Structure 1
């Protein structure tokens, strides 16, 4: 067992026993990715008191005096990663459109707990969970993680999808006569008044933000990604109610017109953006709207979807949107649109979230920009940049360690060696962390 593994394992027992809360922990980092300033620092001491970072300075023998030391001196240390488009509390995509209805709340709770563990041990310490079929399941999972009942990432949750009847956020493709229970239709709204009522219902029941399905969806049979499903006025109704509650709206929007409507209505982020055009890019740039594009997913769907016999409609829509989405992403990067990291985890297995980094670099971001998209820029999207997203004094102590240099080979982020969340060692390089081929 290496020195790193011995030190990490010893620290894990101390931290998990809660002793770290009584004193200071110092992480001896060989390299630190400073995402605030876009540079790499060498041989650093990251000082943690309880759940927060209290300082970072060059390492010296005195740095670890009177403190527990976590020896990551042979590793690159980054802020905990952040995925702004996840579905942790759902079972995941399959060939059976009725799959969500065949599960139970208890079964879904166990599935969500497993997904949460796979996500955090892959280095993603914060996620924005952008909707569930069984309404408010994400709220329950978030609260269980916060209470310490199950390990998982820090979650910001939508509660349900705000969607029209039969729209992109509904369960469709079911046998004739199937009745969908109300708990799967918490956000269905077909007018401005209904949108306002459902938005407030979700906030009243624990949602952190709102997800509006502005267009059809690739993976919802009977809808088309390029077709708008809400008017600009209806989207604006959601934005106004969210603002009144001190929050924001994320818009699922594939089609060019749906994107434009959502941006003009004031949403904070556009999800997917498959048919993003020059006008949409200009509007996003003008309004400061964030782009969260799942540009890895198309390859997974085409391969696994065909193997598992997903519907031909889904496969056809995926083929039509994959390349054009990546082209639009590339144009948006060149135009300087705000980019945050979001993968649509749940379509592919949770824990594989870091696969998308290589795609983002391939389509225009530098490795540093890709890392920033999943750290400080995601924190800015959430409005939590003072608490999250970088290794700096006063911020939550969320750290990961990787072998090698992610700025030279972004793929090393797929193999996380250790994870600290809120000052506690979640997992260390003893077969607990990263993508283990599940």
Structure 2
């Protein structure tokens, strides 16, 4: 009986040779005129990058690749790893003057907007992002899944799902006309105490979130909240951190005010988003705890200009004025203290695809161009827990890279004009 079975199996295998042999490896070569490697801050001239099945296999001094090999000639360009924006909101509409805006778009429309935003972000050279919240709780999770399936063109996404926020807090839709109801899918993360935070974190992780976003203080753009006011207590943050940790995940915290920053870091939050009103003690705590600060130092100018032009509320404009310059001075102090600073822009408040405008602000407030590039590559990858996957063009990392016509180390604004983008060994622009 065994002989009959093996004979039949051998006959079947002879009819289906493809099933017995793995597909050939996809191999491409990239000639980089000037390769910026952020992990060591070096610039390597005239390099040959070998990419196999989407990942970097070797980086060598230029030599002719094998005859007939596919070669991408970037010999006249500056090449660096794909950029990472660690604070975006892809699966939503742009900020407007109408506080009811989140309720005016269907789930279907929002999904199409997310696809458009993802494409714009990728074409601007950002091959990975941290999507830190969508009003429809699973919007960014489903967008990530669509990109991973190949249905939508976009960056790699670390998605948090919806915001974990107190009732009426900075992650809620507030300031609505009387009688207008916020639907349940926009309140998935509302939690009033540590027990409810535990539940909400588990819900987001069950829905497929990679990590968790807490709203620890009030927000500039949420009516009825104040940036300096603590909303989620230290015990609530600790409950979120421990719940996420038990499931192999982690937490970052929206916190503008100094007290909220202290509380969130000491409770175990890996990152602080905005950190607008950070003080000397907050910088020292971040340094001591190894926390990451994600400070959107470009965004305030956009809000001030467009908000006044388009009639955003006086409250929002006031809060923006109170936090913008303070945040930039705090950023400069954090640079001098050598705190871990991550590139994150809050894109979605301003149009997606314009994120690289922030690099010039980071340099203006104390970073070198190389430090700014590292904040959006190797440091951002560390923050996301993806240091072995992205943020570098050393062997084993994804073949995510961008090519520029000008040297960003001489003028960091060159990053605003990405010439070509590769994600996973494939040219997307």
TM-score, with structure 2 as normaliser: 0.94
Is contact 1:21-1:49 (8 Å) kept?
Answer: no
Which of 51, 55, 67 matches 2:54?
Answer: 51
Per-residue deviation, residues 257-311 of structure 1 (Å, max 9, x unmatched): 0000000000000000011000000100010000000000000000001111111
Per-residue deviation, residues 297-337 of structure 1 (Å, max 9, x unmatched): 00000000111111110001000100000000110111111
Partners in 2 of 1:339 and 1:45 — Cα distance? Answer: 31
Secondary structure of the equivalent of 1:96? coil
Partners in 2 of 1:258 and 1:65 — Cα distance? Answer: 60
Secondary structure of the equivalent of 1:44? strand
Per-residue deviation, residues 48-78 of structure 1 (Å, max 9, x unmatched): 01110000001112x3534200011110001
Which of 290, 293, 310 matches 1:291?
Answer: 293
Count of residues paired in the alignment:
407
Per-residue deviation, residues 64-114 of structure 1 (Å, max 9, x unmatched): 534200011110001000000000111121111111101001100100000
Per-residue deviation, residues 348-406 of structure 1 (Å, max 9, x unmatched): 10000100000000111100000000000000001111111111111111010001100
Equivalent residue number for residue 8 of structure 1: none
Partners in 2 of 1:64 and 1:398 — Cα distance? Answer: 22
Which ranges of structure 2 fall in alignment gaps of 5 or more residues?
1-22
Equivalent residue number for residue 8 of structure 2: none
Equivalent residue number for residue 412 of structure 1: 414
Partners in 2 of 1:139 and 1:32 — Cα distance? Answer: 33
Secondary structure of the equivalent of 2:346? coil
Is contact 1:21-1:50 (8 Å) kept?
Answer: no
- Alignment root-mean-square deviation, CA: 1.0
Secondary structure of the equivalent of 2:360? helix
Which of 192, 195, 200 matches 1:193?
Answer: 195
Equivalent residue number for residue 176 of structure 1: 178
Partners in 1 of 2:420 and 2:142 — Cα distance? Answer: 27
Structure 1 runs of 4+ with >6 Å offset: none
Quick one: structure 1 residues 328 and 404, their matched pair in 2 at CA, closer, same or farther if it must change by over 3 Å? same
Q: What is the Cα deviation at residue 21 of structure 1?
A: 7.3
Equivalent residue number for residue 215 of structure 1: 217
Q: What is the Cα deviation at residue 230 of structure 1?
A: 1.1
Partners in 2 of 1:23 and 1:127 — Cα distance? Answer: 26
Is contact 1:53-1:397 (8 Å) kept?
Answer: yes
Q: Greater Rg, structure 1 or structure 2?
A: 2
Partners in 1 of 2:291 and 2:159 — Cα distance? Answer: 19
Equivalent residue number for residue 28 of structure 2: 25
* Alignment of 1:277 onto 2:276: no
Secondary structure of the equivalent of 1:161? coil
Which of 227, 251, 254 matches 2:253?
Answer: 251
* Alignment of 1:305 onto 2:330: no
Which of 299, 321, 324 matches 1:319?
Answer: 321
Partners in 2 of 1:64 and 1:208 — Cα distance? Answer: 40
Partners in 2 of 1:92 and 1:160 — Cα distance? Answer: 17
TM-score, with structure 1 as normaliser: 0.92
Partners in 2 of 1:284 and 1:131 — Cα distance? Answer: 23
Is contact 1:23-1:67 (8 Å) kept?
Answer: no
Which of 49, 55, 80 matches 1:78?
Answer: 80
Partners in 1 of 2:67 and 2:363 — Cα distance? Answer: 41
Which ranges of structure 1 fall in alignment gaps of 5 or more residues?
1-19, 428-438
Is contact 1:162-1:211 (8 Å) kept?
Answer: yes
Partners in 1 of 2:123 and 2:180 — Cα distance? Answer: 38
Which of 363, 367, 370 matches 2:369?
Answer: 367
Secondary structure of the equivalent of 2:120? helix
Which of 21, 42, 45 matches 2:45?
Answer: 42
Partners in 2 of 1:276 and 1:21 — Cα distance? Answer: 53
